[in-house]
Chains A and B, each alone.
Chain A
Amino acid sequence: MAGVGNRVLAGTDRALDLLRELPRLSLSNIRSNPKAFKRNKRGRGQHGGKKHGAGNKGSGQRQNFMRLGYETGNNPFYLRVPKEPYYKGHHIRREYPPISLMQLQTLIDTGRLDTSKPIDLTALCNTKLFQLSPFENQYGFQLTDEGLDNFKGRINIEVQYAPEQVIAAIEKNGGVITTAFYDAPSLIAMRDPMKFFASGTPIPKRQMPPENAVEYYTDPKNRGYLADPDLVALERFKLAQKYGYELPDLKKDPELLPMMLERKDPRQIFFGLNPGWLVNLKDKKIFEPEDEQLLEYYRS
């Protein structure tokens, strides 16, 4: 077979070519890489024998140690040195994995995101390119301003945090951006809807944001989902003036308008599905609660 014409044999081709000269690959002539498997070193006394690293007499050899941190009586380090507040409350702090506008544009260009439908956390997780772990205090995605200048997509997007310039970039292109809060159970349902529907639990109602997040999500400047829509419209206008672009009139495109205006209720998790409903994927049925108390609970 060797080299037809002046084809350069390199890498894989060379390896395959070499195989042609060698005996047939079989169960008796294969082996692993050196050091792939560690030998079990249980030699008696050979490696760490005699005193087995415990020294002579004393609490060490007798395996009767003092408690960790004890300094034989004097004030120990862990009591002597005061705590600094650097990590106080770190386990409660919310994290928002970033998605840059450049990534968003690439997703739109490659067809991984459907711009004819509103984009929310579920749509982003469905691309399987972004991982969200609510168990590690991740509460959603934030948009970053990388690729802001080249962003051209016209989208209705809902994220959990977006800075001012990102909001401006999206609205400049005739899009709509909202920031919304989702609690941990809602996030678990949202990031893998099929798995959630298969579990057979009714759709939960989304909880209100915690105290330190209420201010953010009620502020029209952040396009918060709890803010007054009229104030949001005013802020859109003000932002256009601040950054110096013409605010596109959404009404000019009547086909896209309903999609652009589509927003979720503060208690809603999925578009088109209300809290309390039970989705049966196998039989393709949706069940609603009839009980008064349940209805009142889910409506509140």
Chain B
Amino acid sequence: MATKIINKTVTEFSLRITRCFFVPSKAIQTNAALFQERSETSITNVAEQLLPTIRPPLPIIYSRKLAFPPKFKAVRQAWVSNMDTVEEEKLGLIDLHPEVFAERPRVDIIHENVRWQQLYRHVSYANTKVKYEVRGGGRKPRPQKGSGRSRHGSIRSPIWRGGGIVHGPRSPTPYFYMLSFNARLNGLRSTLSAKLAQDDLHIVDSLDIPTDDPSYLEKLVEERGWGPAVLFVDDNDIMPLNITAASDVHGHYNLMPVYGLNVHSMLKHHTLVLTLAAVERIEERLLFHLNRNDAAEAGRKYKLDSL
């Protein structure tokens, strides 16, 4: 009976705490103690056919080494949760690099990125005919002089009704352009930072779920208060079978490898869920590009007149 009350308090508590940027160590120990009690006696809220989760003593993940130790910004911290139960269990607390996850949220750069993503592959197929393309209009309609009317050379000239269009759309018109490398890099940083700041970023240990039932995902997302649309990001592009099957039914739960991470998708989905491996990879890649001394090399791929 006593354990049941503790269960409820813990669940509510865990859902309400938002990303604490500075968590005093005392709090972690308290939470760990609570979780330890819970894990010994708990039966998960999901259907009884699922086995109760057995875990080693928490916290499982409690430290992470940051590459390029931050000098001027405070380190951010985030909980690491699980995916194998509907209810959220916190497995630990990790450090996040502030240069990636606490960058100034530049909304104009985010807009630039979204605009670029939408436009660069857009091809306009709208077309209008120019005067020489419009059918007819080869003959001079009337002699130059004598009729008393205005002089014309062709009935399809742009000043005529039904004539050619001078500056109209010409199909196909590509709108391809490349946003500068740093704009794209900072777009990712700003969006990740905004997501973390607005509590829409969650970190899980892995995307392994116990069942391929689509309702499991629904219940999980509902229980944890994750937004209607969720984007799951993992390092590998081949995802576990269960989550692939479960999310396939829903158009608003999407799986994505790290190399596909982009600003538009992150904004379109309400919640962003990263695995630990994904966090490592994202940080490694972004910090590499931020700290490289041959930055010119990065943008050379799409430079048109390169020497």
Bitwise, B16-44 to A at CB < 8 A (1) or not (0) is 00111110000000000000000000000
Cβ–Cβ contact A24 & B21, under 8 A: no
Contacts of A92 in B (CB 8 A): none
Contacts of A42 in B (CB 8 A): 167
Cβ–Cβ contact A25 & B110, under 8 A: yes
Contacts of A1 in B (CB 8 A): 18-21
B107 at the interface (CB under 8 A from A): yes
A27 to B268, CA, bound (A): 6
Of A15, A30, A131, which is within 8 A of B110 by CB?
A: A30
A13 to B191, CA, bound (A): 15
A131 to B268, CA, bound (A): 41
Contacts of A24 in B (CB 8 A): 198, 200, 227, 270
A12 to B74, CA, bound (A): 11
Contacts of A25 in B (CB 8 A): 105, 107, 110, 191, 194-195, 198, 267
Q: How many A-B residue pairs have CB under 8 A?
A: 75
Contacts of A131 in B (CB 8 A): 296
Contacts of B270 in A (CB 8 A): 24, 26
Chain B: CB-nearest residue to A31: B111
Contacts of A19 in B (CB 8 A): 105, 194, 197-198
Per DSSP, chain B at the interface is loop
A27 to B113, CA, bound (A): 11
B102 at the interface (CB under 8 A from A): yes
Contacts of B21 in A (CB 8 A): 1, 4
Cβ–Cβ contact A32 & B104, under 8 A: no
Contacts of B20 in A (CB 8 A): 1
B252 at the interface (CB under 8 A from A): no
A152 to B126, CA, bound (A): 68
Most buried by A among B20, B167, B197: B197
Per DSSP, chain A at the interface is loop
B112 at the interface (CB under 8 A from A): yes
Chain A contacts with B in 124-168, Cβ cutoff 8 A: 127-129, 131, 133, 135
Chain B: CB-nearest residue to A14: B104
Cβ–Cβ contact B194 & A33, under 8 A: no
B193 at the interface (CB under 8 A from A): yes
Chain B contacts with A in 4-25, Cβ cutoff 8 A: 18-22
A7 to B18, CA, bound (A): 19
A17 to B168, CA, bound (A): 48
Cβ–Cβ contact A27 & B103, under 8 A: no
Bitwise, A18-30 to B at CB < 8 A (1) or not (0) is 0110101111001
A36 to B109, CA, bound (A): 11
Contacts of B191 in A (CB 8 A): 25
Contacts of B74 in A (CB 8 A): 13
Chain B: CB-nearest residue to A11: B104
Contacts of A133 in B (CB 8 A): 307
Chain A: CB-nearest residue to B266: A25
Contacts of A17 in B (CB 8 A): 197
Of B103, B198, B267, B294, which is within 8 A of A128 by CB?
A: B294
Contacts of A31 in B (CB 8 A): 107-108, 111
B264 at the interface (CB under 8 A from A): yes
Contacts of A22 in B (CB 8 A): 198
B115 at the interface (CB under 8 A from A): yes
A131 to B296, CA, bound (A): 10
A52 to B112, CA, bound (A): 34
A274 to B270, CA, bound (A): 61
Contacts of A20 in B (CB 8 A): 18, 197-199
Given contacts A15-B105, A133-B307, contact A32 B111 (CB under 8 A): yes
Cβ–Cβ contact B104 & A15, under 8 A: yes
Chain B contacts with A in 247-263, Cβ cutoff 8 A: none
A30 to B190, CA, bound (A): 13
**Residues of B in contact with A (beta carbons under 8 Å apart):** 18-22, 73-74, 102-105, 107-108, 110-112, 114-115, 167, 191, 193-195, 197-200, 227, 264, 267-268, 270, 293-294, 296-297, 307
| Across the A-B interface, the 10 shortest Cβ-Cβ residue pairs | A128-B294, A16-B197, A12-B104, A33-B108, A19-B197, A30-B111, A32-B111, A4-B22, A25-B194, A128-B293
9 A-B contacts (beta carbon < 8 Å): A1-B18, A4-B21, A12-B102, A15-B105, A25-B191, A25-B267, A26-B267, A27-B114, A128-B293
12 further interface pairs, Cβ-Cβ under 8 Å (given A16-B197, A25-B195): A1-B18, A16-B102, A16-B193, A24-B200, A24-B270, A25-B194, A26-B268, A27-B114, A30-B111, A128-B293, A128-B297, A129-B293
